Amino acid sequence: MITTPHVDWFALSPTLALLAVAASALLAAVLVPGPLRKPVSATVTFAGFVGSFAAAAVLYAHSADAHGALTGSLMRDRWGALAQLILAGAGALAVLVSYGERTKEHVSEYYALLAAAGAGMIFLAQASSLLTIFLGVEWFSIALYILCAIDIDRASRLEAGLKYLITGSFGSAFLLFGSALVYGATGTLRLDLIGRAVADRGLSDDPLLVVGLAMMLVGLAFKMSVAPFHQWTPDVYQGAPTPISGFMGAATKAVAFVLTIRILQTAFAQDAHLWTVLLAVLAVASLVIGNLAALVQTDVKRILAYSSVSHAGFMLMAVAADSALGGRAVLYYLIPYSAMSIGAFAVVAARERELGHDVSADDLAGYGWERPVLGVALWIFMLGFAGFPLTGGFIGKFYAFSAAYRHGWLWLVIIGAAATAVSLWYYLGIVRQLFLRSSAGAAGSTGTPSAPPRDALLQIAVVACVAITVASFFAVQPLIDLAKHAAGSLPF
């Protein structure tokens, strides 16, 4: 006899909203006549993300005390709810950015998959048992594999999808194997019970447990694009449809970090002496490899991909600090970072649509003069990535460095600061292309006669991203308060 557990439908509402939307968008592929298909499915998906955002906001307001939902395999807390807000916002922006690009078939499927990926991530933000974690990871990953390869007539898309699938499965296998070992060592799937079992039974040096932890960290590091598990990142970001690259850069990273912190703090607090050092080492690896490899790239999407690797390093510094301050720093940083990531890829997408091929740094020559709004926006995103004042990136880096310093890791702060200085080199390289060179210099690469008209929705999304990037600098207080309450629901 199986008893039905009590289901907290309210806690599930952000996920359910998107699931419903995914189903509707898929139905639209069949039921809605051709010309209307795109506007309908895009509108529905956008509404789904907005609805999910609203639901997450209400959930945040009504989850002051963290408690389990669905017999503890999901947590209803502010940590998850704030992550859901970031994810839903990223999804809504991605819908806007995608609109102008989807011209051929598979329009409804595209939006359905985007909603499904969003639903998986939003589910994962709350997941608190090894089972739901694996479910959530696979759920959004599979949707993303297909999204990467959705334009099956383009070899680069197919290649990206395939590579993502193979390496991603490999990463997931590690996560699953690790989960099995941890389950074997502790006899439970729930994160909080694992943590208690480790503490009560003194399992923190159990060989099964530590190897399981290492394997789970490999799987998570893969999703966070932390070096040396990052190699899929430039490939996939370059090959995937550009709005999807932006969405992955923002949302995959956000959910992976939120989940990692939840797992480490809830289940493996006793093993902090192991994973703090490991994460600090991985942070250094990401900073070094991400920044140096970005220096020699020519394709803008690859540069942004390596920038994403280096940002994984900055955020890992805060995770490795193993403190509520670090948790706050990551949650705060994810807000402007997501906006900058989606915005930067959106500008690249706009240029790509005008040119009809991949965008190299040279292809941006003089673009700032042709499209001032997009040019200035990309410029702001680059400065934000570099951690410059007047953007949220400044506060985010400052917070992450503070967390590492308070942990006593001055050396890590110094490496981070040096990495910031190096990163300016390639960020400025892009800015230089945008503005500080006349477009006449790059022969034949600009002024394509068939340049499509300005894409209003994409511009709205970019302007929104700029607004978030800049506003997060001035309105630090409310955002930090949100992050503080969210971090309060984890047992730091």
Partner 1 sequence: MVAAAWICLLLPLAGALLITLLGNVLSRKAAGVLATSSVAGAFVAAAVAFVMMLGDGEHHRSHLSTGFTWLSAGSFQADFSILLDPLSMVMMLVITGVGSLIVLYSIGYMHGDNEERRFFGYMALFVFSMLMLVQGGNLLLLLVGWGLVGLSSYLLIGFWHEKPSAVAAAKKAFIINAIGDATFAIAVIVIIQQTHIVGFDALSALNPDNHGVLNLVALGLLGGAVAKSAQLPLHTWLPDAMEGPTPVSALIHAATMVTAGVYLIARCHTVFESAHQVQNIAAGIGALTIVAAGAIALVQTDIKRVIAYSTMSQIGYMFVGVGVGAYASSMFHLMTHAFFKALLFMGAGIVIHALSGEQDIRQMGGLRKLMPRTYVMMLIASLALIGFPLTSGFFSKDAILAGALASGPYGAALWVLGMIGALLTGVYTSRLFLTVFHGAPGDLVLRQLGPDAHGQGATDGGHGHGEGPRTMLIPVAILTVLALGGGFIQVFDWWTGMQTWLESVVPSLHEPTGWQEAISSIGATLLGLVGVTLGWTVYGSRKDTAPKPSRSLEHKLYFDELYDRIAYAPAAFIARFVTRVVEEPLVIGSGDLVGHVTRGAGEKARLLQNGLVRSYALLIALSFAVMGIVFLAVR
The answer to whether 327 and 471 are in contact (CB under 8 A) is no
CB of 434 to partner 1, least distance (A): 10
The tokens describing 191, both together, are: 């994160």
| Binder among 355, 373, 451, 480 for partner 1 (CB under 8 A) | 480
Cα(11)–Cα(388) distance, rounded to whole angstroms? Answer: 38
Nearer to partner 1, 165 or 342 (CB): 165
| Binder among 67, 406, 447, 491 for partner 1 (CB under 8 A) | 406
CB of 469 to partner 1, least distance (A): 15
| Binder among 315, 413, 430, 462 for partner 1 (CB under 8 A) | 413
225 torsion bin: left (phi>0), alpha (psi -120 to 50), beta (else)? left
Structural element, H or E, at residue 115: helix 107-126
- Given the rule CB under 8 A, which of 40-48, 416-424, 447-455, 460-468 is the region that contacts partner 1? 416-424
| Footprint of partner 1 on 237-296 (CB under 8 A) | 238-239, 271, 273-274, 278, 289, 292-293, 295-296
CB of 285 to partner 1, least distance (A): 9
Binding mask 75-114 for partner 1 (x = CB under 8 A): ----------------------------------------
CB of 329 to partner 1, least distance (A): 12
| Footprint of partner 1 on 187-206 (CB under 8 A) | 204-205
| Footprint of partner 1 on 303-362 (CB under 8 A) | none
Nearer to partner 1, 62 or 154 (CB): 154
| Binder among 23, 131, 166, 467 for partner 1 (CB under 8 A) | 166
The tokens describing 393, both together, are: 């990136």
What number of CA atoms fall less than 13 Å from residue 419's CA on the CB side? 30
Cα(182)–Cα(7) distance, rounded to whole angstroms? Answer: 26
| Footprint of partner 1 on 209-238 (CB under 8 A) | 210-211, 213-215, 217-218, 222, 228-229, 231-232, 234-235, 238
What angle do helix axes 78-99 and 456-474 make, rounded to 10 degrees?
Answer: 150
- Given the rule CB under 8 A, which of 20-28, 30-38, 108-116, 386-394 is the region that contacts partner 1? 386-394
Nearer to partner 1, 22 or 218 (CB): 218
Give a three-class secondary structure readout of 434-477. HHCCCHHHCCCCCCCCCCCCCCHHHHHHHHHHHHHHHHHHHCHH
Q: Does 61 bind partner 1 (CB under 8 A)?
A: no
| Binder among 64, 131, 418, 456 for partner 1 (CB under 8 A) | 418
| Binder among 428, 451, 457, 471 for partner 1 (CB under 8 A) | 428
Backbone angles phi, psi at 304, to 5 degrees: -65, -35
Q: What would you report as the CA-atom Rg of the chain, rounded to the nearest whole angstrom?
A: 21
Q: Is 215 exposed, middle or buried (0-12, 13-18, 19+ CB in 10 A)?
A: buried
Number of DSSP helices (H) and strands (E) in the chain, helices first: 20, 2
| Footprint of partner 1 on 434-463 (CB under 8 A) | 435-438
In order, the DSSP letters of 229-251 are S-THHHHHHHHS-HHHHHHIIII
CB of 179 to partner 1, least distance (A): 15
